[in-house]
Structures are given as structure tokens and as C-alpha cells.
A and B are shown apart, each in its own frame.
Chain A
Amino acid sequence: MNTNNRIARLAINEEGFVFDPQTGESFTVNQTGKVILKALMRSDSEESIILQLTEQFALSPQEAQADVRDFIHHLRAYQLIY
């Protein structure tokens, strides 16, 4: 998935605390969000992210896809992804 530089520059720690060095904003994500965010920062494809979620959490592919799309929608709202 194509992401802009801003998401690639986010700093994220193991507890899911995320810092945006461009704006100084910070927020927290849960375990699922952390996996999605890290995958997006690596520019992984949507299919790959869904696979990672189904492997790590008790989720069906449909649930994982809904989670990924919902999360990306939020990132767009915060202009971290165009």
C-alpha cells in the first residue's frame, strides 16, 4: 500500500504510543492498530496486513479486512494517509 512520508516517519513504541515528529501530535493505538500501523509504515499490501492480523489475533479474514479499512479511514481523517 502506498503511504506518504508522514506515516513512515511516525515513532511507535511497544505499548502503542505513537508520536508524529512533524506536528508534535501523539496518540495511542491498541495491539491490532499497532500491527496495522507498523505494516503501513513498511508499505505492506492490504492483503498482507489482513494475513498478519488473522495469524496474530482470533479474527476471520472478513473481520480483519473491516478492521484494516476502518483504521485506514481514521488515518485519512488525521491526514496521515492521503
Chain B
Amino acid sequence: MDDIFVAVTGINASDNPAPGIGVARSLKEYTSLNFKIAGLAYDAMEPGIYMDWLIDKSFLIPYPAAGYKAIIERILYIKHTFGLDVIIPTLDSELPFYIKSRRELELHGIKTFLPSDEQFRLRSKEYITSIAAQSGLQAPKQAVVTSYKELVTAVQEIGLPVIVKGTLYKAYRAYSIEEAMSYFSKIVAEWGYPVIVQQAVNGEEINVIGVGDGAGNLSGRVAVKKMSVTELGKIWTGVTIHHPKLLEATQQFVATSRWQGAFEMECIVEQDKVYLIEINPRFPAWVYFATGVGVNLPVMLLKLALGENVESAEEYEAGKLYIRYTNEQICDMANFQNLVTRGES
């Protein structure tokens, strides 16, 4: 069996974990194919670099802000020195680059399986209302604002409390206009404009992750309820669920948008109403939960990237628990030294 060389980003398995380690673990557990995994890191202290049972080789890569040329050059270097058949970016901030560069990468024999530019734009937080309607779900009232004046108007129209969120990262609950203004300036300073003001919906938070094949078919999906989260809002314990309306909406979302690639739908259930809060165009950090219950979404995505047929996953069991835990690793200084001096280890 030939080796398949896969690069995975987001290997920062910290208290704010990125999805890369869950993706790598899912690939390594699929023993029908031989995966050689390159971990792409932005910092020499990203824990995934030192997890050699999952990451075969690590490379430092430039931040997206470094520009197209610098990133492409680094990727091609990895292709020539390690091998690279498929690249799986897992961080929101990287996706615009990989979506725009997919043809160039393909010319160099590097495959991806990502949403189109149009799909990426339509699932953005600004357009969540229309996606919700297409999928048969409710959407919280929201407004996209770029000034204090617009913010105040939006808060008055939506009613307090509101969620103030950036288009890519961060979300805060504000109980007064003053609080909303403070969060607005905080988000703008860190992530820029625009800012989204959203109705705060009460209810249980449930999430679905899946992979769409780009032709309207849902290759696999798993719905979970977060039972406990960390102070940063990251899942710590969870349970698989079967929520018929949500699973039907997921199918409808993939069918109508012909979604290609990984996605995570974040919803809030309030009695019979299911509100669509957000669609992330990538796997979440807890993607291994799906693999653990028999739905290996990263392998499905990888096979689709390689042009292979993927049969729809079998049904998973509701009531399976997910429990994160902390761990420590002791290793030699050599890996760190190599990363710092040579940019790879």
C-alpha cells in the first residue's frame, strides 16, 4: 500500500485547541490506508509538533498575513522534501488563502477539499439568516455594523441582551448598550470590521458536524450536545444526540448549498425552535468525537479530495460520551531546537 502524504494545520492542542490533532488522530486510526502526516505549525511550541505518534514530521509555516508567495513557497518545499498529496487546513483564518489557491496547489499535485468561494461567502455570519431559511431553521435577529451609530440602532432594534461578535472570531454577550460598545471596540481593535450584533437566544446549544461531497450529498454527520465547556467556551464533555429536526436541516443545508468539504453547524434549541447561530467551514477541535462513534469524517474528506467514492456513513449511537482530559509530555530539546533553527523537525 502506497503512503499518502497529508499536511494538517491547526496542531495547537492547547486550552484553546485547534482541530488539527483530531484530524490527524482520525487519519492515523484508519488502518486501511497508510497516512504520513505533516503537521504545519505557526509556533515551535505548538504541542502537536511533539506528538510523534500522530505527526510524522512538523514544519513551521508563515502566517496568512505573510502573503501568497511566502506560503506557496513553503508548501512546495514541504511537497519536495516530505511529500504532499492532500492538505487539510483547519483554521478559519487560513481558509481564504487555500480556497483561492486550490487550482495552483492542484497544478502541483496537492489536493484540497474545500467549499467554493461562493459557498464560503454565503455561510459567513452576515448571511446566516438566508441559510437558516433554506435549511428550515430559525435564525436569530441580527445586524452587521461598522460604526457606533449603527451598533446603537441595531441594539435598539434587536433588544437586549445581544451577542456582539466578529466575523471570524470572538463573541460576547452584552446586557447594556455601554457593554455592547465596549465589546464592539474590542473586536474591531483585534479583528477589524465589520461586527455582527445578534439576538441572544436562550436554549440548549447543540452542534452538528459533517462532510458534504459538493454534489448535494451528505457523506456523514454527527450531532452532539455540549455538556460542559471551558472558560473559553470550548467543549470539555459532550454527548451524541439524535435531534430529528436538526439532522434533517443538516441534510437540507448540504443539498441546497451543494456544500463541499467539512462544516460545523452551531445551533440553539429552544423548545420546538432550532436557531442556526453559525456555520463554520471546517472541522471543529472535537472532530475526533465523530470518529470515536464510527463516523470518520476526516477520512471521508480525504477520500473525496483524492476523487474516491465515499459511501454515506452508518448511523451512530446517541448517548455516547466525550470527555477531554489534560496530559503532559516530556521530550528532548532537540525537536524544539530543530524547529527554531531549521523550521522543521
Contact residues of A with B, CB < 8 Å? 9, 11, 19, 21-25, 79
Measured in the bound complex, the distance between the Cα atoms of B318 and A77 in whole Å is: 23
Which residues on B sit within 8 Å (CB–CB) of A19? 318-319
Measured in the bound complex, the distance between the Cα atoms of B224 and A21 in whole Å is: 10
At the interface, yes or no: B241 with Cβ under 8 Å from chain A? Answer: yes
Which residues on A sit within 8 Å (CB–CB) of B239? 24
Which residues on A sit within 8 Å (CB–CB) of B240? 24
Q: Known: A11-B319, A24-B227. Contact between A79 and B241, CB under 8 A?
A: no
B327–chain A nearest beta-carbon distance, Å? 26
Which residues on B sit within 8 Å (CB–CB) of A23? 204, 206, 225, 241, 243, 269
CB of A22 within 8 A of CB of B271, answer no
B345–chain A nearest beta-carbon distance, Å? 40
Q: What is the chain B residue whose CB lies nearest that of A24?
A: B225
B293–chain A nearest beta-carbon distance, Å? 13
Which residues on B sit within 8 Å (CB–CB) of A24? 204, 206, 224-225, 227, 238-241
B32–chain A nearest beta-carbon distance, Å? 30
Measured in the bound complex, the distance between the Cα atoms of B225 and A23 in whole Å is: 7
Q: What is the chain A residue whose CB lies nearest that of B227?
A: A24
At the interface, yes or no: B173 with Cβ under 8 Å from chain A? Answer: no
Measured in the bound complex, the distance between the Cα atoms of B241 and A25 in whole Å is: 9
Measured in the bound complex, the distance between the Cα atoms of B225 and A16 in whole Å is: 22
CB of B271 within 8 A of CB of A79, answer yes
Q: Which of B206, B227, B319 has the most CB of A within 10 A?
A: B319
A66–chain B nearest beta-carbon distance, Å? 28
Q: What is the chain A residue whose CB lies nearest that of B226?
A: A24
Which residues on B sit within 8 Å (CB–CB) of A22? 241-244
Measured in the bound complex, the distance between the Cα atoms of B317 and A9 in whole Å is: 13
Measured in the bound complex, the distance between the Cα atoms of B204 and A79 in whole Å is: 14
A-B interface, 9 closest residue pairs, ranked by CB to CB distance from nearest? A24-B225, A21-B318, A24-B241, A24-B239, A21-B242, A19-B319, A22-B243, A21-B241, A21-B319
Q: What is the chain B residue whose CB lies nearest that of A20?
A: B241
Which residues on B sit within 8 Å (CB–CB) of A25? 204, 225
Measured in the bound complex, the distance between the Cα atoms of B242 and A19 in whole Å is: 12
Which residues on A sit within 8 Å (CB–CB) of B242? 9, 21-22
Chosen A-B contacts, 28 in total, with CB atoms closer than 8 Å, are A9-B242, A11-B318, A11-B319, A19-B318, A21-B241, A21-B242, A21-B318, A21-B319, A22-B241, A22-B243, A22-B244, A23-B204, A23-B206, A23-B225, A23-B241, A23-B243, A23-B269, A24-B204, A24-B206, A24-B224, A24-B227, A24-B238, A24-B239, A24-B240, A24-B241, A25-B204, A25-B225, A79-B271
Which residues on B sit within 8 Å (CB–CB) of A11? 318-319
B248–chain A nearest beta-carbon distance, Å? 13
B247–chain A nearest beta-carbon distance, Å? 10
Kindly identify, within residues 170 to 226 of chain B, every residue whose CB is under 8 Å from any CB belonging to chain A. 204, 206, 224-225
Kindly identify, within residues 145 to 175 of chain B, every residue whose CB is under 8 Å from any CB belonging to chain A. none
Q: What is the chain B residue whose CB lies nearest that of A11?
A: B319
Measured in the bound complex, the distance between the Cα atoms of B271 and A8 in whole Å is: 18
B85–chain A nearest beta-carbon distance, Å? 38
B215–chain A nearest beta-carbon distance, Å? 30
Which residues on A sit within 8 Å (CB–CB) of B241? 21-24
Q: What is the chain A residue whose CB lies nearest that of B245?
A: A22
Which residues on A sit within 8 Å (CB–CB) of B225? 23-25
